[in-house]
A and B are shown apart, each in its own frame.
Chain A
Amino acid sequence: MTAAGRDIPMARRRSGRERLIGRGLTYLAAVLLALFILVPIYLIAVSAFTPRENAFDFPRSVIPTAVSTDTILFFLNASGVIDAFWRSVAVAIITLVLSLLIGAPAGYAVARYLFRGRGVYRLSVLATRAFPIVILAIPLAVTYRVWGIDDSIIGVALMHTALALPFTVLITSSVFISVPHELEEAAQTLGCNPLQAFLRVSLPLALPGLAAAAIFIWVLSWNDVFAAVILTLRNPTLPAKILTALTQSPIYYQFAAGFVMLVPSLVVIFFIRRYLLGLWGRVVK
C-alpha cells in the first residue's frame, strides 16, 4: 500500500484527502439533521414524564431529575379523554376495515391486470392523494346532518376512509406486485378456482404487506384532527378532544397529550419503513 502510495500523483492524493473530509462533513450533516428530528421527541418525552408539580420549574434540566407517570395519568383521567381515546380507536378500526375491503381489491386489479383505463385510474388515485381535507369535511358535515350520522363515529370513519383509500390502493397494489402471480396460476392448474387460488396462495404471501397497509391507514385516521373537529361535537375523537381543550388546559396536560398522540406514529414508521418509498416516492411520468 505505502509503496503504491508513493507513485500516486499529488493531485490524486489531495483529492483522496478531500474525499475523506467530504465524507466526514456528510456524517456531520447527517448527525445534525438526525438531532433536529430526535431532540424534540426526546424533549416532549421528558416533559410528559415530569411530575405535575415540576411542570413550571425554570430553567429545566435536559436530563430528567424526577421521572413519573403522574402527568400522563392526569391526562388520561381528565374528563372525556378515555372516551375520546376509545372513539379514536373505533374510528381507526372501521376506517381500516372499510379501506382494505374497498381498496385492496382495486390494488389487486391494478397489480394483476392490464386493462383499458388502468392508467387513468392510477392517475386519479395519485391525484386524490393530496386532496384538501378541508374541502371534503365541510360539505360532508352538511350531508351527514341529512343522513343523520352527524357527530358519530361512523361519519368520521367514512370520511377517513375517503382519505385513506388512495393510499390503500397504492400500497396494496405494490404488495400484490411483489407476490408472483405464477404461484396463483399454478394453484389454478392444480384445481383451485381463481378465488381459492387467491385466498390460499396470494393472500398468505401478501399478509405482511397488507399489515403494513393497515398500520398506515390506522395512523392516517389516528392523526386526523381537522375532519374530526368539523364532523364531531359531543363525541370527539382524541385529537379533536385535545384541540378543543387546548385553550383551557394546563400546559402539562398538553405535554402528556402530545406524547400520547406521538408514540404510535414512531412505532408505525418502523413497521412500514420498507413501503415508504413506494408509497410517496412514485412519480407519474
Chain B
Amino acid sequence: MTARLGWAPYALLLPSLLYLVLFFATPMVQAFALAFQGPDGSFSLVSIQRMVGDASFRNALLTTLVLVVLVIPIQFALAMSMALIINANLRGQGLWLYIYALPLGISELAAGIVWVSIFTQSGWLNSILMGIGIIDRPITWQSAETPWLLIGCVLIGEAWRATSIIMIVLVAGLQSIPREFLEAADVYGATTWQKVRRVILPMLRPSLQVALILRTILAFQVFATVIALAGTGLDVLAGEAQRWATDIDNDNVAAAYAGLILLLSLASAVLFLVLLPTREEHQA
C-alpha cells in the first residue's frame, strides 16, 4: 500500500505544512524583523531600547519570572498528587480524572474572573473567613499597594486553572510504567514514599520533562488571569506586549516583547533538556 500510494501521504500533509509555514514560521521570523526596526521600518535597535527603557519593563520582567518560578513547583506538586491518586485505582477512577481535568477547558479570563469572585472585597473568601470568625473586617486582597498579595491571588488562580495539563501528561506517563516494577518494590517492602522516590520519579522523567517545558512556556505568556485579578496592579510581559500593540499602537516594541517571551521560552526549554536528561540522551 505504501509503495502503490507513495505520493499520497505527502499530498495529504501538504496543506497543513503550507498553512504552518504561512501562519507559524513566517510570523515568527517577522516578529524578530519588527523588533529590530525603528518606526520608519529601517534596521535599528531603537525599539529594543524603548522596551528596555520603559518604566514598566523591569517590573513586567520581574513579575513574570517570579510567577513562573513560584507557580511551576506548586502546579507540579498538585499535578503529581492528582496523577498518583488517579493511578491508585480508587473507585470512580474516570470521575476523578474528569474532575481534575475540568479546568483544562476553562479560559484564562474565565478562571481569573472565577477567582475575582473569591478574592474581591465583598467576595467569598472574606465572607467565609468572617463566617468562621477568623476576621471581623473584610481584608483587601487585591490592591496595587500589596503586590505580593496580588501575586498570591494570581498564583492560586493559575494553580487552579493550569495544573490539569501537567496532570494529564503525568497520568499518561504513570500508566506506561510496567506494573511489575511496582509489584517488585512491594515484594521488597517499599513504602509508598520509597516507591515514588525510587521507581516512579525516575521512570517518569520523560513525562516530567515534557510537562515542565510545556507548562513553563505557557507560564511565560500569563496574561488574562493577571488582568482580571490584578488589573493595572501587576505588569507582566504579555500584558506589556498587548499594551504596546493596542493602546500605544507601536508594533515594533510589542514585537520586541514577543521576541523576549520567545527567547525566555526557548531558554527554559533548553534548561530543562540539560537539567533533566532522559536515559536515551545519556547514551547518545
Please list the residues of chain A having a beta carbon within 8 angstroms of any beta carbon in chain B: 22, 26-27, 29-30, 33-34, 36-38, 40-41, 43-44, 47, 56-62, 101-103, 105-106, 108-110, 112-115, 118, 121, 124, 128-143, 158-159, 161-162, 165, 169, 185, 194, 219, 222-226, 229-230, 233, 239, 242-243, 246-247, 251, 254-255, 257-258, 261-262, 264-266, 268-270, 273, 276-277, 279-285
Q: Which of B106, B217, B227 is the one whose CB lies under 8 Å from A262?
A: B106
Instruction: Decide: A226 and B224 in contact? CB cutoff 8 A.
Output: yes
Contact code string B89-131 (vs A, CB < 8 Å = 1, else 0): 0100010111111111111111011111110111110111011
Chain B nearest CB, measured from A173 CB (Å)? 11
For B28, list chain A residues within 8 Å (CB): 135-136, 139
What are 12 contact pairs spanning A and B, CB under 8 A?
A30-B85, A106-B15, A108-B12, A114-B2, A124-B20, A135-B259, A139-B30, A239-B224, A251-B116, A273-B101, A277-B168, A277-B172
Q: How far is the CB of B149 from chain A (nearest CB, A)?
A: 18
In whole Å, how far is A15's beta carbon from the nearest beta carbon of chain B? 8
Contacts of B113 in A (CB 8 A): 44, 254-255, 257-258, 261
User: How far is it, in angstroms, between the C-alpha of A102 and the C-alpha of B12 when the chains are bound?
Assistant: 9
Chain A residue numbers with a CB within 8 Å of B188 are none
Candidates A109, A140, A246, A262; contact of B13 at CB < 8 Å: A109
Set B30, B220, B241: member contacting A143, Cβ < 8 A: B30
* With A134-B257, A265-B106: A106-B12 Cβ-Cβ less than 8 Å: yes
Interface residues of B: mostly helix, strand, loop or mixed? helix
Q: Are A58 and B126 in contact (CB under 8 A)?
A: yes
Query: B213: CB under 8 A from chain A?
Result: yes
A73 CB to nearest chain B CB (Å): 18
Most chain B beta-carbon neighbours within 10 Å: one of A233, A258, A264: A258
A269 to B261, Cβ gap below 8 A? Answer: no
Assuming A40-B118, A128-B24, A222-B107, what are 9 further A-B pairs, CB within 8 angstroms? Answer: A61-B127, A136-B23, A194-B8, A225-B108, A226-B223, A226-B238, A230-B245, A269-B101, A276-B101
A225 touches B109 (CB 8 A): yes
B contact residues around A41 at 8 Å (CB): 102, 114
B217 A265 Cβ-Cβ under 8 A: no
Q: How far is the CB of B282 from chain A (nearest CB, A)?
A: 13
Determine whether the beta carbon of A34 is less than 8 Å from that of B96: yes
Query: B251 within 8 Å of A by Cβ?
Result: yes
Residues of B within 8 A of A162 (CB): 19-20, 23-24
A62 contacts B124, CB within 8 Å? yes
Contact of A26 among B90, B121, B242 (CB under 8 A): B90
- Which B-chain residue is minimally distant from A284 (CB atoms)? B210
Picked from A130, A131, A251, the residue with its CB within 8 Å of the CB of B213 is A130
| Assembled-state Cα–Cα distance A38/B82 (Å) | 14
Bound form: Cα–Cα A226–B122 in Å = 29
Once bound together, how far apart are the Cα atoms of A121 and B123, in whole Å? Answer: 49
CB of B171 within 8 A of chain A?
yes
Residues of B within 8 A of A (CB): 1-2, 5-6, 8-10, 12-13, 15-17, 19-20, 23-24, 26-28, 30-31, 34, 78, 81-82, 85, 88, 90, 94, 96-110, 112-118, 120-124, 126-128, 130-131, 138, 160, 165, 168-169, 171-173, 175, 192, 206-207, 210, 213-214, 217-218, 220-221, 223-224, 227-228, 231, 238, 241-242, 245-246, 251, 254-255, 257-259, 261-262, 265, 278, 280
**CB-based contact A102/B16 at 8 Å:** yes
User: In the complex, how many angstroms separate the beta carbon of B162 from the nearest chain A beta carbon?
Assistant: 12
Bound-state Cα–Cα, A185 to B2, Å: 13
Q: Which residues on the B side are within 8 Å of A262 (C-beta)?
A: 106-107, 110, 114
Residues of A within 8 A of B242 (CB): 226, 229-230
Task: Report the minimal beta-carbon distance from B214 to chain A, rounded to whole angstroms.
Answer: 5
B109 & A239 in contact (Cβ 8 Å cutoff) = yes
CA distance A243 to B110 in the complex (A): 10
Question: Chain B residues with Cβ under 8 A from A124's Cβ?
Answer: 20
Report if A43-B207 is in contact (Cβ < 8 Å); known contacts: A108-B12, A225-B224, A230-B246. no
Q: Which residues of A contact B261 (CB under 8 A)?
A: 132, 134-135
Question: Is B2's CB under 8 angstroms from A115's CB?
Answer: yes
For B13, the chain A residues whose CB sits under 8 A away are 105-106, 109-110, 121
**Residues on the A chain within 8 Å of B110, using CB:** 223, 258, 261-262, 265
Could you say which residues of chain A place their CB within 8 Å of the CB of B1? 113, 185
Nearest A residue to B28, CB-CB:
A135
- Report yes or no: B218 in contact with A130, Cβ–Cβ below 8 A: yes
Chain B minimum-CB-distance residue to A262? B110
Known contacts A59-B127, A115-B2; A283 and B207 CB within 8 A of each other: yes
A113 to B85, CA, bound (A): 38
Interface centre among A158, A165, A226 (most CB of B within 10 A): A226
